[in-house]
A and B are shown apart, each in its own frame.
Chain A
Amino acid sequence: MVEFDRSAFIGKFQEEATEYLQRLNEGVITLEADPQNRELIDQMLRDAHTLKGSSRMVGLIEISDIAHRLEDIMVKVRDGEIRYVPDMSEVFFEALDSIVFLSESAGKDVSGEVDIPGLLGRLGEAAGAASGETASAPGGPERAPIAEKDDTRNRERPGASAKKPSPKKAVHEEQTLQTRVQQTVRIRTEQVDRLLNLVSEVVIARIKDDQHARDMRSLQARMNETQQLWSRVRTTAVNLQSREGLAFNEDLNLLDELLNDQRKRLSGIVKTYAEDASRASTVVADLQEHSMALRMLPVSTVFNSFPRSVRELAHQFNKEVELQIEGGDTELDKKVLEEINDPLIHIMRNAVDHGIESLPDRLAAGKPAKGKILLAARQEGDHIVIEISDDGAGIDPEKVRAAAVRKGYVSQTEAKAMSDREATYLIFEAGFSTSAIITEISGRGVGMDVVREFIVEKLKGSLDVTSVPGQGTTFRLTIPLTLAIIRALLVSVSGQTFAIPTASIEETLRVDPSEIIKVEGREVIRRQRRTIPIVHLRDVLGLEAAENIGRKLPVVTVGFSGHRIGFLVNAFVGEQQIVIKTLGTHLVRVDNVAGVTILGAGEVVPILNVPDLMYHARQITGMRVRPDAAAAAETGPKRILICEDSFTTRELERSIFEAAGYDVETATDGALGLAKLQEGLKVHAVVTDVQMPNMSGFDLTRAIRADGLLKTIPVVIVTSLEREEEKAEGIQAGADAYITKSVFNQDTLIDTVERLIR
């Protein structure tokens, strides 16, 4: 085994421990006042647990032992085995202070200064005493003699009762306080943000400086030209001067000197300026980097709660899933980190529900019973890449195609024309569900589009999914390290400059007009055996046409959700780092524009919102075959058929739908319902119970799917059956949604139906 150097990690641990200790200290105080606070108990338990684990990692075994005892106590408190009583606070504080001390003096032998065995004993006692068990304290004598009293502490903490004296020396306490003050300063996030705002102003000024330096250099070039021209004029003038005499000659010499002097001075200024600017630029870059680092936190602050969430999710689906985390110490901007929690939860929920197969399926496929999800983070350049892979069934592109066609996202022909990869991306469509069936937890069409919204629109990152049927799915999120500054391509459209985030751009091309092919009234280009639709960016933005410079047409291709679109622009202006600013308080949200940036010359440039552009581009070209038109044509209320044998449920459902403005038809069993449909009753959706006389809901669903005229009607199964097998039968029968009565409420039902018949 390779011996790894733990000392390098002790600093990290100390930093981390301060945070936890702080929270635990606060927690003890709050807990005294509110001993039943479940949330707090859970958090303290987690904190103690984390302390235990991380101290062990860096080899601080004593801390780990103490934290272990604290954890024991919190477990018992949580499970109701013991009640937290104020008397316990003292030993808690003692333990926390000892951890602080041990952490500060990490690595040194302090056994003579802290009575660890005694402390462990007292902690064991606290865990045991209240429940009536006898405490055992391995690793130390049951009751170590109290070394020394520390009365100061008791005076300092009026909240803590002073029954148990502390064995620690007052001297240590003083040392601890001193070192702590020197190592960290707590700052309010707003203060950091304000500072970062100022830094971004400085960055803008720096970018302007670059521009000025360029301007000055071009001025210098002009000056040199002038000088050369002047030399020629002067020579000619000297040859011609015979009549004019000395005065003219003197003027010529004066002018020559003046010009020379000017040129020298200018070149001096340009040189100094360029040097200053480049020095300042280094400083500004450092300033920017360091100030950004202020807001950086390890992703583990978010990741650490996931193993538990996954365990709970797995439990819900009767699956066994293990979450493995890699790269938890990768650092990310706090703002980004806050935004990333929800999308990650959505992806993992999706992985547990749809990715990992049920136990029998896994065994049949020869996979280990326990499913595996890997959550890995790493930094790549100025981006963070987070990958979530599962070893489940993978996404079946065929299923996605079928569902997409059924739900009207794409036409049959379009679905066929899509590559498997493109088809897979359809899961990011709003309201789309990968699953053939809607369950309460996922597959209800919320989730992946939320992920897309967060990652791409809010974080200006990108999202990618790859899947191998039978082997698993990997989601790859690429997120900028910071939200404030990104790289962008500047393009000119109809005389105006726009910025496109580089992260969204696949490539930039210059195509010959002859390469543009017209297909079904749309313009496309071929690129690496793929067909890419071409749209004029000016049409999407509603701008006037302008002349292109040169014959080749500049095209920016962007890829998003497996679609690629090439946007025709008038010219590429360049790529550079830009500082993102909002559009101000008045324009809260504007189509196509995500914000603005200020360029060197003070010019304000709108930053384009790529997903918006693609959405509108597809609308313009009519590539979107959303059944909007069809829906608009069908005026009047939607009709729904309810098949339900229970009078109460039937009437309840009827009232829910009627209140939501639906026309409701009812049938008391599946057979009657089917008869109504076959007699020509036109409905937008069928809501059916499972267990009904004559014909069950599953049979009804199968019958509807088998009928050429009826098969497109969405079927929602509402049932009290909650077992996975039944859900599976529902899927096989061809139902679109599956709602269990236990979670049944008005909104779920209406939402589900509306999503299906949209």
Chain B
Amino acid sequence: MNGDAPAIDESKAQQSLEILRRRAESLAQVEAVDTAAELLELLLFRLGEEWYAVPISGVREIVNDFVLTPIPRVPDFIQGVTNVRGEIVSVTDIAALMRIASDGTWAGRELPSAIIAQTDRCVSAIVVDEIGDILDVPREALEPPLVTLDRSQVEFISGSVYRDGRLIGIVNLDRVLEPIGDNA
């Protein structure tokens, strides 16, 4: 899923070709469909060696220097809470939640970065290893999630998009940020 082509196995290579072909098509279409074609704005972020994205519509802000307060006995993907200008926001370790290897750079840093994401139901600070660019993607360039994804992972990824030799998984915020302890 990353840019290191030689490491990609055959089925992935084939998929990549397919993706490239589709991308070529979609690029060819861009002019024809004109700019009115629906664009999806994505914010990229890195977890370990992989890149993921969240729709900008679900991003409230980015914090670069939050202080974490651990909360005892919460699910392991909840790091704790942080104080965002007086508002208490949970801190979600998305890598732990999706079981993706993070290089943990954020944890080593004193003041790590996080994306404050929100859904209709809740707000959480999602910690990531690195925050990337904002990407405009035409909706039709979106692809279904990789079929090889683990079933437990697939529910967290709503689709993927191929850019600059990288396949980027788009995170399904509604699934990632479900209120915890509701009706418990």
* CB atoms of A598 and B90 under 8 A apart: no
* CB atoms of B83 and A590 under 8 A apart: no
Q: Which of A9-17, A27-35, A268-276, A577-585 contacts B (4 or more CB under 8 A)?
A: A577-585
Docked CA distance A83–B86 (Å): 57
Query: Would you give the shortest CB distance from A40 to chain B, in whole angstroms?
Result: 35
* CB atoms of B83 and A584 under 8 A apart: no
Q: Which of B4-12, B72-80, B127-135 contacts A (4 or more CB under 8 A)?
A: B72-80
A542 at the interface (CB under 8 A from B): yes
Within 8 A of B (CB), among A617-675: none
Docked CA distance A596–B70 (Å): 11
B164 at the interface (CB under 8 A from A): no
* CB atoms of A584 and B72 under 8 A apart: no
Docked CA distance A201–B86 (Å): 8
* CB atoms of B181 and A587 under 8 A apart: yes
Which residues of B are found within 8 Å of A605, using beta-carbon distances? 69
A121 at the interface (CB under 8 A from B): no
Docked CA distance A606–B90 (Å): 12
**Chain B: interface residue total (CB-CB under 8 A):** 27
* CB atoms of A587 and B72 under 8 A apart: no
Q: A496-B70, A542-B73, A596-B88 are in contact. Are A587 and B78 (CB under 8 A)?
A: yes
* CB atoms of B124 and A593 under 8 A apart: no
Which residues of A are found within 8 Å of B71, using beta-carbon distances? 583, 587, 590, 593, 606
Docked CA distance A542–B181 (Å): 18
* CB atoms of A583 and B69 under 8 A apart: no
Docked CA distance A592–B181 (Å): 12
> Of the candidates A204, A543, A588, A598, which one forms a contact with B72 in the assembled complex, judged by CB atoms under 8 Å apart?
A543
Which residues of A are found within 8 Å of B123, using beta-carbon distances? 584-586
Within 8 A of A (CB), among B132-184: 177, 179-182, 184
Query: Would you give the shortest CB distance from A484 to chain B, in whole angstroms?
Result: 14
Which residues of B are found within 8 Å of A582, using beta-carbon distances? 88
Q: A589-B181, A602-B83, A604-B83 are in contact. Are A584 and B70 (CB under 8 A)?
A: no
A541 at the interface (CB under 8 A from B): yes
* CB atoms of A588 and B73 under 8 A apart: no
* CB atoms of A592 and B88 under 8 A apart: no
B81 at the interface (CB under 8 A from A): yes
Query: Would you give the shortest CB distance from B77 to chain A, in whole angstroms?
Result: 11
Q: A585-B121, A586-B122 are in contact. Are A593 and B72 (CB under 8 A)?
A: yes
* CB atoms of B82 and A604 under 8 A apart: yes
B87 at the interface (CB under 8 A from A): yes
Which residues of B are found within 8 Å of A520, using beta-carbon distances? none
* CB atoms of A590 and B73 under 8 A apart: yes
Which residues of A are found within 8 Å of B182, using beta-carbon distances? 588-589
A707 at the interface (CB under 8 A from B): no
Q: A581-B88, A584-B122, A596-B81 are in contact. Are A541 and B181 (CB under 8 A)?
A: no
A591 at the interface (CB under 8 A from B): yes
Q: A496-B70, A583-B71 are in contact. Are A588 and B86 (CB under 8 A)?
A: no
> Of the candidates B78, B83, B124, which one forms a contact with A598 in the assembled complex, judged by CB atoms under 8 Å apart?
B83
Contact with A along B45-81 (1 / 0, CB 8 A): 0000000000000000000000101111110001001
Which residues of A are found within 8 Å of B177, using beta-carbon distances? 586
Docked CA distance A269–B67 (Å): 30
* CB atoms of A586 and B92 under 8 A apart: yes
* CB atoms of A592 and B92 under 8 A apart: no
B89 at the interface (CB under 8 A from A): yes
Query: Would you give the shortest CB distance from B159 to chain A, in whole angstroms?
Result: 24
* CB atoms of B69 and A541 under 8 A apart: no
Docked CA distance A542–B72 (Å): 7
Shortest Cβ distance from A538 into B: residue: B72
Which residues of B are found within 8 Å of A496, using beta-carbon distances? 69-70
Shortest Cβ distance from A543 into B: residue: B72
Shortest Cβ distance from A197 into B: residue: B86
Docked CA distance A581–B87 (Å): 8
User: What is A's interface to B at a CB cutoff of 8 Å?
Assistant: 201, 204, 496, 541-543, 581-593, 596, 598, 602-606
Q: Jot down 29 A-B pairs with beta carbons below 8 A, ordered by A.
A: A201-B86, A542-B72, A542-B73, A583-B81, A583-B90, A584-B88, A584-B89, A584-B90, A584-B123, A584-B124, A585-B123, A586-B78, A586-B90, A586-B123, A586-B177, A586-B180, A587-B71, A587-B78, A587-B179, A589-B182, A590-B73, A590-B74, A591-B73, A591-B74, A602-B67, A603-B69, A604-B67, A604-B69, A606-B71
User: What is B's interface to A at a CB cutoff of 8 Å?
Assistant: 67, 69-74, 78, 81-83, 86-90, 92, 121-124, 177, 179-182, 184
Known: A496-B69, A588-B181, A602-B67. 17 other contacts (CB 8 A): A542-B73, A582-B88, A583-B81, A583-B90, A584-B90, A585-B121, A585-B179, A586-B124, A587-B74, A587-B181, A590-B180, A591-B73, A592-B72, A596-B81, A604-B69, A604-B81, A606-B71
